[in-house]
C-alpha cells in the first residue's frame, strides 16, 4: 500500500504548478480528481502536440489522475463540484484571483464546514499584497525575482530552460500538503496552505540574494560556468567531447594539476592558489585548463579524472539524457498509457521503502465524468441531462492496455 492510499484530492488546476503538486500526491497513492472546464479542459492540453498528438506538459503532469469535465458555473455542475469538495480530504486550486471563493471553494468556506479539510491555494504573487490581482506566468516570475539577470552570458540574459517557478511552487505545495496531513493525523485539524510562484522562487534565490546584499554586487553571468567557483564549467577534449569540470576545493585543484595534467608548476602558480584567486584570474585559468583538455582524448580524461576523484560530467543533449546509462542501469523507465497509446515515463525520484510509485494512465478529457458523477450521487437521468446540456463532458475513452 502506498503512503497516501485512501486520501482523496480534488483539484481545480491548470498549467504546471498545481498539476505538479497533485501528480506527486498521486504518485504516492492519493486519488486525484482533476476538474477540467468543458470544451478544451486544462489549457496545458493544447501547449503542443509532440507526444503522439498530446501535449508534453500534460503527459508529464497528469498521469494517475481522474478527469471530470464540468461547467462549474451551471447549477448542476456547481452542485456536483460541491459534492466532490465535501468528500475530499484535500482541495487544491490555482485558479485566477478570487475564482475559488466565488465557487464556494475558498479555504475559509471549506474549513468552516469541515475543519479537517486541507486547502492548498497556489497563486502568482500572493493572495494579498499589491500584486494580488496581477497575472503571473513562469517567465514573468523568473524575471521579477532576478533569476534571469543571473542566467546567460556577459552579453545577454537567458531564462532557465524549464518552468522553474512553477516547479518550485508545486514542490512547496506538495510538501505543504504532506505536512498538513501529518498535522491532521496528530491534532485532527486540517490547514489552509498558500504558496505563491514568486515567493517559492524567491526562496531558491537565497544564495545570490545573500551574496548581493553582502558583497554589494550581484554574481556575474558566465554561461555554463559557475559564477563564484573556478574552474567550474565546460571544457572540450581533443576529440570534441565537452566535459563539465567541477573543482570545489584546493585538494581537488592540486589533484587536477598533478594527477590529471601532470603539471606541478601549474599547481604551484600563485595566481590560482585559492578559489578567490582563481575566480579573479578566471580568463587566464580557463585558457590554461582548456589547452590541457584539448591535448587529451575523451577516454584519457575520463580515466584520469575518475582516478583523481575529480567531479565531471558530460554536457549532454536531452536525447543523450534519455539514453543515460544511470537511468537504464537503475531501471527508471516505465510505460504509461495515454489516449494516444503508451509512452515511456520516468519513475519519480522519491522512493519510500520498497514501494514503487503509482504510474497509471494520463486521462482523456472528461474520461471519468460519468463514473464520478454517479459515484457522488447524481442520478442517471440527471447525468443524461447534464451531458445533453454540455454541463458534463465526456470526450473519449482510453485505449485498453
For the stretch 100-115, pLDDT in tens is: 999 999 999 999 999 9
What was the pLDDT predicted at 395? 81
Residue 351 pLDDT: 85
Residues recorded for the chain: 401
- State the pLDDT confidence band at 180, using cuts at 50, 70 and 90: very high
Q: CA–CA separation, 101 vs 328, rounded Å?
A: 47
Q: Which residues contact 269 (CB under 8 A, 6 or more apart)?
A: none
**Mean pLDDT confidence for 43-55:** 95
pTM comes to 0.91
Summarize the confidence of residues 224-242 as an average pLDDT.
Answer: 93
Using 50, 70 and 90 to split pLDDT, how confident is the model at 214?
very high
Query: Is the pLDDT confidence value at 50 over 50?
Result: yes
- Tell me the average pLDDT across 358-376: 96
What cell was used for 147?
533569476
Choose among 13, 84, 170: nearest CA to 376: 84
Q: In 96-247, where does DSSP find H-type helix? A: 99-102, 107-113, 138-144, 147-150, 164-187, 197-204, 206-215
- Which DSSP state fits 35? E
Is 232-314 in CATH node 3.90.550.10?
A: no
Do residues 219 and 205 lie in contact, with contact meaning Cβ atoms separated by under 8 Å? no
**215 alpha carbon, distance to own chain's centre:** 31
Write out the three cell numbers for 210.
545573500
pLDDT of residue 401: 43
- Spatial neighbors of 75 by CB under 8 A, at least 6 apart, are none
Per-residue pLDDT at 228 = 86
Contact (Cβ atoms closer than 8 angstroms) between residue 168 and residue 200: yes
Q: Whole-angstrom Cα distance, residue 397 to residue 401?
A: 12
CA distance 191 to 312: 44
3-state class (DSSP) for residue 270: helix
pLDDT at 117 over 80: yes
pLDDT of residue 187: 97
| pLDDT tens per residue, range 133-147 | 999 999 999 999 999
HSE-CB of 267 using CA atoms within 13 angstroms:
16
Q: How do residues 312-349 score in pLDDT, each as one tens digit? A: 999 999 999 999 999 999 999 999 999 999 999 999 99
| Whether the predicted pLDDT of 99 surpasses 50 | yes
The set of residues, in sequence order, having a beta carbon less than 8 Å from that of 327 and lying 6+ positions away, is 333, 346
- Enumerate the domain spans of the chain: 8-205+334-393, 232-314
**Contact partners, residue 65, CB within 8 Å, separation at least 6:** 11, 22, 23, 26, 32, 33, 34, 362, 363
Which CATH code, of 3.40.640.10, 3.10.580.10, 3.40.50.10540, 3.40.50.300, is assigned to 8-205+334-393?
Answer: 3.40.50.10540
Give me the percent of the chain exceeding a pLDDT of 90. Answer: 93
**Average pLDDT of the chain, as a whole number:** 95
User: Does 356 have pLDDT greater than 70?
Assistant: yes
Cβ neighbours of 172 (radius 10 Å): 22
pLDDT value at residue 359:
96
Instruction: Give the pLDDT confidence score for residue 398 in this predicted structure.
Output: 56
Residue 153 belongs to what H/E stretch? strand 152-153
pLDDT at 354: 86
**Residue 228 grid coordinates:** 563564484
**SS3 of the chain: helix, strand, coil, percent, to 5:** 45, 15, 40
Best CA proximity match to 391, nearest among 6, 4, 22, 39: 39
379-400 burial by CB neighbour count: b if 16+ within 10 A, else e?
A: eeebbeebbeeebbbbbeebee
Q: 163 is written with which cell numbers?
A: 518552468
Per-residue pLDDT, averaged over 162-172, amounts to: 97
User: Do residues 245 and 233 make contact, with C-beta atoms less than 8 angstroms apart?
Assistant: yes
At residue 396, the pLDDT reads 64
pLDDT in tens, 248-307: 999 999 999 999 999 999 999 999 999 999 999 999 999 999 999 999 999 999 999 999
Q: Where are the alpha helices (DSSP H) in 268-379?
A: 275-280, 282-294, 298-307, 318-322, 325-329, 369-375
Angstrom distance (rounded) from CA 366 to CA 386: 13
Q: Which of 206, 197, 208, 194 is nearest to 142 (CA)?
A: 197
Amino acid at each position: 500500500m502506498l503512503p497516501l492510499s485512501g486520501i482523496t484530492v480534488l483539484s481545480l488546476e491548470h498549467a504546471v504548478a498545481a498539476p505538479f503538486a497533485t501528480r506527486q500526491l498521486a504518485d504516492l497513492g492519493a486519488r486525484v480528481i482533476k476538474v477540467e472546464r468543458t470544451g478544451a479542459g486544462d489549457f496545458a492540453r493544447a501547449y503542443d502536440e509532440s507526444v503522439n498528438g498530446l501535449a508534453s506538459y500534460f503527459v508529464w503532469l497528469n498521469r494517475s489522475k481522474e478527469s471530470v469535465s464540468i461547467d462549474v458555473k451551471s447549477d448542476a455542475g456547481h452542485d456536483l463540484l460541491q459534492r466532490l469538495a465535501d468528500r475530499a480530504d484535500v482541495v487544491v486550486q490555482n485558479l485566477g484571483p478570487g475564482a475559488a471563493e466565488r465557487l464556494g471553494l475558498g479555504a475559509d468556506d471549506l474549513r468552516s464546514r469541515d475543519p479537517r479539510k486541507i486547502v492548498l491555494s497556489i497563486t502568482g504573487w500572493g493572495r494579498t499584497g499589491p500584486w494580488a490581482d496581477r497575472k503571473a506566468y513562469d517567465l514573468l516570475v523568473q524575471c521579477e525575482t532576478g533569476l534571469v539577470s543571473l542566467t546567460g552570458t556577459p552579453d545577454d540574459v537567458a531564462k532557465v530552460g524549464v518552468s522553474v517557478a512553477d516547479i518550485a511552487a508545486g514542490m512547496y505545495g506538495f510538501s505543504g500538503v504532506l505536512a498538513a496531513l501529518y498535522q491532521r493525523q496528530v491534532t485532527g485539524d486540517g490547514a489552509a496552505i498558500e504558496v505563491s510562484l514568486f515567493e517559492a522562487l524567491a526562496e531558491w534565490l537565497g544564495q545570490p540574494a545573500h551574496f548581493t546584499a553582502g558583497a554589494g554586487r550581484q554574481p556575474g553571468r558566465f554561461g555554463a560556468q559557475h559564477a563564484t567557483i573556478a574552474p567550474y564549467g565546460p571544457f572540450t577534449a581533443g576529440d570534441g567531447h565537452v566535459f563539465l569540470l567541477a573543482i570545489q576545493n584546493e585538494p581537488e585543484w592540486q589533484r587536477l594539476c598533478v594527477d590529471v595534467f601532470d603539471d606541478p608548476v601549474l599547481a604551484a602558480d600563485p595566481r590560482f592558489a585559492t578559489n578567490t584567486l582563481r575566480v579573479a584570474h578566471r580568463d587566464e585559468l580557463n585558457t590554461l585548463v582548456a589547452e590541457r583538455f584539448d591535448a587529451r582524448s575523451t577516454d584519457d580524461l575520463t580515466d584520469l579524472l575518475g582516478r583523481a576523484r575529480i567531479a565531471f560530467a558530460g554536457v549532454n543533449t536531452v536525447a543523450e539524457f534519455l539514453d543515460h546509462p544511470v537511468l537504464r542501469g537503475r531501471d527508471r523507465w516505465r510505460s504509461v498509457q495515454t489516449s494516444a497509446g503508451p509512452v515511456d515515463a520516468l519513475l519519480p525520484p522519491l522512493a519510500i521503502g520498497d514501494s514503487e510509485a503509482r504510474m497509471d494512465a494520463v486521462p482523456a478529457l472528461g474520461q471519468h465524468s460519468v463514473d464520478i458523477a454517479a459515484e457522488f450521487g447524481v442520478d442517471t437521468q440527471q447525468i443524461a441531462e447534464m451531458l445533453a446540456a454540455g454541463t458534463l463532458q465526456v470526450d473519449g475513452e482510453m485505449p485498453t492496455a
